[in-house]
Amino acid sequence: MTMLLTYKYRLNPEKRQHRALERILEQQRQLYNAALCERIECYRKTGKSISEVDQSRSLTQIRADDPAFALVQRRIQRGTLKRLDRAYKAFFRRAKEGAGASSGFPKFKGREHFDGFAFDAFAQITFKDGGLWFAGMPGKLRINLDRPLPETPHEKTGEMGVWIKNVWFKREGLIWYVGFQVPAPVRENRNGLGKGAIGADWGTSVLAHLSSGEIVPNPRHGEALAQDLARTQRSVSRKAKGSKQRLKARRHLQAVQRKIANRRRNSLDKLSARLVKNFGTIAIEDIAVKGLMDAERPGETLPEFVKTRRNREVLDTAPYLLRQMLTYKAQREGATLIVVPSTNTTQECFWCGGLHFKELTDATHVCTRPGPYFNLKAPRKLNAARVILKRALACVPAPLRGAGRNAPIKNHRGGPVPGGLSGSSPVVRNARTSARRPGNTEAEQSAPGRRGVETPPLPHARGRDPKVRGSPGW
């Protein structure tokens, strides 16, 4: 079993190669804009749209007329036309779904907004000895191979090797990267192998509360670099538009933004990797990030600066990115990710299943229903994480849960986590027993859509770690 992942590496181009990359990029930008112009004109004149195939065909004519075009790989130019086609298709898909009439129509790209190009297939390019060769690129383009590409058996012959499906190049600031889309091995499903299950509740003040009791702190990388960010942003806006100084300042700004994004991704990568390695089943809540941001909770009117701060915190924890990472990593490692409805996860009682309403400020959950659980207390977020786990386990058949013999949670170096839970987990046991107890499941049953194991769309996360989409996220 394999799945397609993209591995991203830094390139180490020589000066002349750097110039060649920039030249190819600029040509692709012009091609993109010209092709977009042609599509718009054609529609205006004839009322018909021109297809990618038609445009690819006319490449032959352009290449014959313009020697500069003939110097660049045809596959790259086709890749650019494909990219425009994807942008068109995405626009029509959104329009169908009822977005605004002009929202997301493909734009003409300025120099500052066009940062990459791709081959339309992995052909007429050679990957050998840690470098790439292709027409239009002088010499061997060296790659910083900090980790190997995965070897898998060939689809037809069964021969072991690295079978690259696609390749793209991307400029981030002044640095060039290459992405390889390759089939990567997928581990057997590990459910029921005693790997245990865990529930996680994302927060803004901390990154996550786990049902094991562990609290994963929020690294707040964005905040640490917020001053740098503000300074460089001011610097850009002071420079005249289109000037060289502005471009330079913008590069600085991009460097800061990249730093923030890299740090954030790094901590999310570590957390998601640790969860899928240590647990067979991971339960998370289905939160709408949009709703989390901007949201004025009922009955409160927030000053603008509080909203800004809250938004920044949500962006800093990046729950969406984390979910994407968990999705593909769980698939790769044979773990199961279960996304449960988020209705009332804070109000529902983990013990009795009833709803105990609490204020936002209440940090502690207390069971108020008379009975065996009366007056039991737990931190609010821990209760939520346990409820999430309980909901998830309720939709997994018992033999597959693998709960009860929880593996000790380890950090990325394989060592124990301070404060982390080890050995048998009372949390998981409780979740199972209480889920089975009749009469306490009415809250769960009223929760909308006790869906089964979700298979979300392919994620689209960027980062050092492989990701599932082939495109560099243009």
Nearest CB to Zn ion, comparing residues 52 and 201: 201
CA atoms of 334 and 183, how far apart (whole Å)? 16
Shortest Å distance, C-beta 200 to Zn ion: 21
Q: Which residue has the tokens 């060592």?
A: 415
Sign of CA dihedral 40, 45, 51, 55: negative
Query: Per rule CB under 5 A, is residue 312 in the interface with Zn ion?
Result: no
Closest CA to 466 of 193, 137, 162, 203: 162
CA angle 411, 413, 414 (to 5 degrees): 65
CA atoms of 281 and 283, how far apart (whole Å)? 7
When binding is defined by CB under 5 A, the residue of 352, 382, 392, 461 that contacts Zn ion is 352
Q: Outline where 318-367 has alpha helix (H).
A: 319-333
Say if residues 26 and 110 touch (Cβ distance below 8 Å): no
Nearest CB to Zn ion, comparing residues 15 and 377: 377
Stretch near Zn ion under the rule CB under 5 A, chosen from 9-17, 208-216, 232-240, 347-355? 347-355
- 165 contact partners, CB below 8 Å, separation of at least 6: 4, 121, 122, 181, 182, 183, 470
Nearest CB to Zn ion, comparing residues 45 and 377: 377
Shortest Å distance, C-beta 343 to Zn ion: 17
Size of the site for Zn ion (CB under 5 A): 5
Query: Per rule CB under 5 A, is residue 349 in the interface with Zn ion?
Result: yes
CB atoms under 10 Å from CB of 106, counted, come to: 20
Find residue 167's DSSP bridge partners. 180
Cα Dmax for the chain: 85
Shortest Å distance, C-beta 366 to Zn ion: 8
Stretch near Zn ion under the rule CB under 5 A, chosen from 22-30, 90-98, 222-230, 349-357? 349-357
CA atoms of 278 and 405, how far apart (whole Å)? 11
Mark 413-452 with x for binding to Zn ion (rule: CB under 5 A) and - for no binding.
----------------------------------------
CA atoms of 20 and 26, how far apart (whole Å)? 10
Stretch near Zn ion under the rule CB under 5 A, chosen from 64-72, 353-361, 442-450, 464-472? 353-361
Stretch near Zn ion under the rule CB under 5 A, chosen from 65-73, 179-187, 295-303, 345-353? 345-353
Nearest CB to Zn ion, comparing residues 354 and 473: 354
Identify each DSSP E strand in 41-151 by its residue range: 116-118, 125-128, 131-134, 141-144
Query: Per rule CB under 5 A, is residue 409 in the interface with Zn ion?
Result: no
Nearest CB to Zn ion, comparing residues 59 and 366: 366
CB atoms under 10 Å from CB of 223, counted, come to: 15
Say if residues 384 and 201 touch (Cβ distance below 8 Å): yes
What angle do the packed helices 319-333 and 244-278 form, to 10 degrees?
Answer: 50
Shortest Å distance, C-beta 364 to Zn ion: 13
Mark 367-406 with x for binding to Zn ion (rule: CB under 5 A) and - for no binding.
x-x-------------------------------------
Q: Which residue is nearest to Zn ion (CB)?
A: 349
Nearest CB to Zn ion, comparing residues 257 and 346: 346
CA atoms of 260 and 255, how far apart (whole Å)? 9
Mark 221-250 with x for binding to Zn ion (rule: CB under 5 A) and - for no binding.
------------------------------
Shortest Å distance, C-beta 353 to Zn ion: 7
Query: Per rule CB under 5 A, is residue 184 in the interface with Zn ion?
Result: no
Nearest CB to Zn ion, comparing residues 352 and 409: 352
Nearest CB to Zn ion, comparing residues 153 and 354: 354
CA angle 32, 34, 39 (to 5 degrees): 95
Stretch near Zn ion under the rule CB under 5 A, chosen from 32-40, 188-196, 197-205, 363-371? 363-371
Which residues in this chain contact Zn ion in the complex, by CB under 5 A? 349, 352, 354, 367, 369
